[in-house]
Structure 1
Amino acid sequence: MSTPSPTPSHPDAGSSPAAGHTLARSLGHGQMAMIAMGSALGTGLFLGSGEAIGYAGPAVIVSFAVGSLIAATIALAMGEMASRHPVRGGFGTLAARYLSPFWGYLSRWLYWIVTVAVTGAELVACAAYLAYWFPAVPIWAGILLFAAVIVGINLATVGSFGVIEFALSSIKVVAVLVFILIGLFLVLFGMPGESAPGLSLLTSDGGFAPNGWGAVWIALSVVMFSFGGIELLSITAAEAKDPARSIRTAARTTIVRLAFFYVLCIGIVVSLVPWQEAAGTGEDVATSPFVMVFDRIGIPGAASITNLLVLVAALSAANANLYAGSRMLHSLASDGLAPRLFARTTRRHVPYVGIVASSVGLLAAAILAFSGVGGVFGYMMSLVVFAVLLVWFLILATFVAYRRRGVEGATFRVPGGVVTAVVGMIGLLTVLSTVFVRESMQIAAAVGVPAVLLATLLYFAVVRRRLDTAAIEEAFDEAESMR
């Protein structure tokens, strides 16, 4: 692909870097890693894991291990590209250069939809957790309450946002580490007066894979929701103080932490609780496998402790996804792929219009809750998985094109290069193929496929004429000066 001409393609071209449209570089590498952790370490682990256990039994450990490897290919590919090009819009802007402007447009809009859906779904969960203590508070009121909290956090400076998200994510990380330590002690030594279960429960009830190995594959469609959020490694690059160092550290540590937490936590759960008991599709915190483990320890108020943990987890994930959605919308507007209004920022370089627009998921969640529609969280999970799988596939395709151009990372390189990316793409297609056997994925596809077709039609009918190639190149120039 030849370098685009710097000539603006429409009258407003080139205005994106002007005052009132730029972002601030205020995030440290620790904050960047924790923001990605905050988005990924959410209700997918604490509540959604029960559904995955129901499909695969103890072999869900394999599902999480495979999911970790797939997620690792994506995180590393994004990390290498972002260390070379810490541009606004992250992987979407990279796709515009190395694949085509259309794929850059589609990946960014798809991901914006993902962030909107996740933000709304996580606040539904927050409101449900609040109702556990205060049943008189309606779900819709809880959604609006927490919506006001995260919108306020996001409207502050990006530095303040980073500090708060770091704190929320740290609470989750400490809680998970405590769970792992207690769980390992129970597995190895047992409770006073009881023998240690060891690994006996992994094979005692129908075997390690009681529903067959095909169920391990189906469980992947649930498991991959847990890793959604690693994309923030790429998006936060545009607001990093030291992009090269921060991205290198964040990319390497985030996926290791996530894999360690998820695989070990799930292994502990199915080692301490019979898998049929741990399995569950409900959204009630009392059915969480983590509550069951705490109950076995005999800790008073186990459900309340876990309720606080999952509330913090969901609030942190919603907060991080609102951040991601607003930055994605800002990059789209800066490149002429969305109304220019969305590129506006405050004097503190916060994209306030993008934040307000990305809050549409919060309002939709409150309306659905008020109307009494049930099962919203489960269907939103499936829609998010379907859309994010497409986004991840485009990220790896961008990496392949990037490497084929002879470009390499500034601070680190993906082991195996293109081969690793292709393996990740095959893994994603394998997960996406569960659409043929899992009903909720079929419903997600019934919504997602028409949405992709509509976005494609809009691009070629309207948006393509507004594309600002000069703004895209200016984003790369600005990123190059910071590298």
Structure 2
Amino acid sequence: MALGPTLGTGLFIGAGQALAIGGPASLLISYAFLSLLTYFMATTVAEVATRAPARHGTLVTNGFRYMTDSMGFAAGILRWYTLAMFVPYEITTAMVNLGLWNPDVTIALRLIIVITIVVGSNFIPERHFRTSERLFTRIKVGTMACLLVLSLSIGLGGATGHTKWGFHYWKRPGAMHEYLFHGSLGKFWGLLQCVSHSSIAFTFAPEIIVHRAETFESVHTEIGEALDPTIQDSLPGKVAFDVATTTLPYILSSLAMGVMAPYNDPLLTNNGAGAGLSPFIIGMNTARIRIVPVTATLAILVSSVASARSFLFLASRALCAMSELGHAHRALKVRNEWGVPYIAVGTTGLFSLLAFVSVKMSSSTTTTYFLVFVNSSGYLSWLVSCVIFHYFRHNSGLRHNTNSYQFAIQPFGTYFGALMSAILLMSNGLVGGIPGPRPGPKVARLLAAYLSIPVFAGLYFAHRFQTTVPYRTSHSDLGVHNCRDEQRNKAATQTSEAQQGRSAQPGSPEIV
């Protein structure tokens, strides 16, 4: 499973909010739709990656290759801090999983322990970290499989000896929740917001899938040129396989959660405060199964901590890669004898301190703020990927390049992905209309939902004004020569022609 290292509360707990908003049918439709969108976006990123897989992964390099340097810088920083924001999200949701804790001194102690484990484990040697990551991945995938089997057993009546549940909750209280409005409009609105809440499990899934595929399947030079001529055959197939093996368990899990808990259960949203308990935990408590709920709670907690570790690793390596490519401060690429970029890890680890907001505010509400912020940043990142693909296809056509693999679904998949990303980005600020107390003030919800847009714009203009270079596109790997080399050669040619023109003027000593 390609997303095994990052599999966490986005599925086990985050889906509970989505279930409360849209109902079981909307949850299933949302996961199926987002799985299809993930495939579209993964092929968008993969088609560009097959042209020139990068040693650092195309997560932070394609923006510089196919757009302006300022856009590449803004996109790279966007992806870095979005991955980093997953760390406090996972940590805070872990606190919710422990029992819907309210703000007090006790939760601060728990946060200190969890943050120490998450950040401290990223300073161990990389080979040991990757070994532990494989172990945690097996635990998380095993947890998912056990929860699916248990849900099937409860649904069929084999676990409790009572009447089987089946799709009882699809009938009472219903398959689709009328959200904010009555009738069909309310069901549609609930479905739209259900998709928005469910996106947390798929954010950066396309980029991570492609990054892992090109990391394991390709050989690169220092500047990112592909040496393996079979990469066009191996990478697309691996990407398609990883998308299928990732999204299918997600869809099955969404179906199981609709069986385990009704959408009107107040524990799903902690009585309207925000994130609540996992539908799996609610279902097992309702079925009165002993010990198993406690075991499942601990397994989900381990998954949250392990996912926070993995996201911190990904974010710190993205920042280190930008430094190694010359787009961030050179101190961020410094590594110790264990190969750990400790300055990048320490800088990224500061994001984990945002979890202490839950000391003054309910963990359920804090998690909702993190969720809408990460989702909006993810949608913006998808839009950037679509823009990169557009420039890649446009310039490849101009240069008559036929070396890159072309997916049959493209460019339709990119256009559809861009449209849906824009719609979800704009509707993300409408979150928070869960029946009962709203999760935080309206201004805070809007700020969390749309803050990523001005931040991205600020990064772009700050970089452009700092460099004071004319607007240009730096397609560094579209042809045999580097674009900057071509620009320098063109400038040298123009200078030579100007000198020859001056030497050919009347009265010049060369004129006979």
Match of 1:451 in 2: 455
- After superposition, the CA RMSD in angstroms is 3.5
**1:472 offset after TM fit, Å?**
7.1
Contact 2:97–2:277 (CA<8 Å) still a contact in 1?
A: no
Structure 1 residue aligned with 2:265: 277
How many residues of Structure 1 are paired with residues of Structure 2 in the alignment? Answer: 439
Answering whether residue 28 of structure 2 is matched by residue 52 of structure 1, we say no
Question: Within the alignment, does 1:342 sit opposite 2:342 as a pair?
Answer: no
Aligned residue identity for 2:253: C
Q: Does 1:228 align with 2:203?
A: yes
Q: Which has the higher contact order (CA 8 A, sep 6+)?
A: 1
Q: Aligned letter for 2:351?
A: G
Larger helix proportion of the pair: 1
Normalised by the size of structure 2, how large is the TM-score? Answer: 0.75
Is residue 326 of structure 1 aligned with residue 302 of structure 2?
Answer: no
Corresponding residue number in structure 1 for 2:141: 173
Gap change, CA 1:274 and 1:241, over 3 Å in 2 = closer
| Structure 2 gaps, min length 5 | 180-186, 220-230, 433-443, 482-512
Spell out, residue by residue over 1:7-33, the C-alpha distance to the aligned partner (whole angstroms, 9 max, x if none).
xxxxxxxxxxxxxxxxxxxxxxxxxx5
Q: Check the 8 A contact 1:127/1:140 in 2, yes or no.
A: no
Query: Structure 2 residue aligned with 1:76, among 43, 54, 58?
Result: 43
Matches within 5 A, 1:343-382: 343-366=333-356, 368-370=357-359, 375-382=365-372
Indicate if the aligned counterparts of 1:126 and 1:314 stay in contact, CA closer than 8 A: yes
Once residues 335 and 467 of structure 2 are traced to their aligned partners in structure 1, the CA distance between those partners, rounded to angstroms, is 23
- DSSP-derived class of the 1:434 partner: helix
Give the letter aligned to residue 305 of structure 1: T
| 2:250 equivalent to 1:262 | yes
Report the CA distance shift for 1:445/1:49 in structure 2 as closer, same or farther (over 3 A). Answer: closer
Report sequence identity in percent. 20
SS at structure 2 position matched to 1:202: helix
Partner of 2:303: 313
Question: Aligned AA for 1:49?
Answer: A
Question: Distance between the aligned counterparts of 1:321 and 1:50, measured in 2?
Answer: 22
1:343-370 CA-partner distances (Å, limit 9, x unpaired): 222344432221111111023334x345
SS at match of 1:90: coil
Instruction: Give yes or no for contact 2:376–2:425 (8 Å, CA) kept in 1.
Output: yes
Report the Cα distance in structure 1 between the residues aligned to 2:193 and 2:413, rounded to whole angstroms. Answer: 23
**TM-score normalised to the size of structure 1?**
0.79
State which structure, 1 or 2, has the greater radius of gyration over its C-alpha atoms.
2
Structure 1 window deviating more from structure 2 (287-296 vs 435-444): it is: 435-444
| Structure 1 SS opposite 2:290 | coil
Establish whether residue 63 from structure 1 lines up as the match of residue 63 from structure 2: no
The answer to whether the aligner puts 1:442 opposite 2:430 as a matched pair is no
**What does residue 387 of structure 1 align with?**
377
Residue in 1 aligned with 2:124? 156
**AA partner of residue 71 (structure 1):** T
* 1:98-132: CA deviation from partner (whole Å, max 9, x where unpaired): 22222211111111111221112212333555688
Bigger Cα displacement from structure 2, 333-342 vs 143-152 = 143-152
Write the letter of the residue equivalent to 1:233: I
Give the conservation status (yes or no) of the 8 Å contact 1:131–1:138. Answer: no
One-letter amino acid matched to 2:43 = L
Q: How does 1:20-169 map to 2 (within 5 A)?
A: 33-34=1-2, 36-39=3-6, 41-58=7-24, 59-87=26-54, 88=56, 90-127=58-95, 129=97, 138-169=106-137
Q: Structure 2 vs 1, CA of residues 409 and 363 (structure 1 numbering), >3 Å: closer, same or farther?
A: farther
Distance 1:71 1:408, change over 3 A: farther
Question: What is the CA–CA distance in structure 2 between the aligned matches of 1:384 and 1:325, rounded to whole Å?
Answer: 13
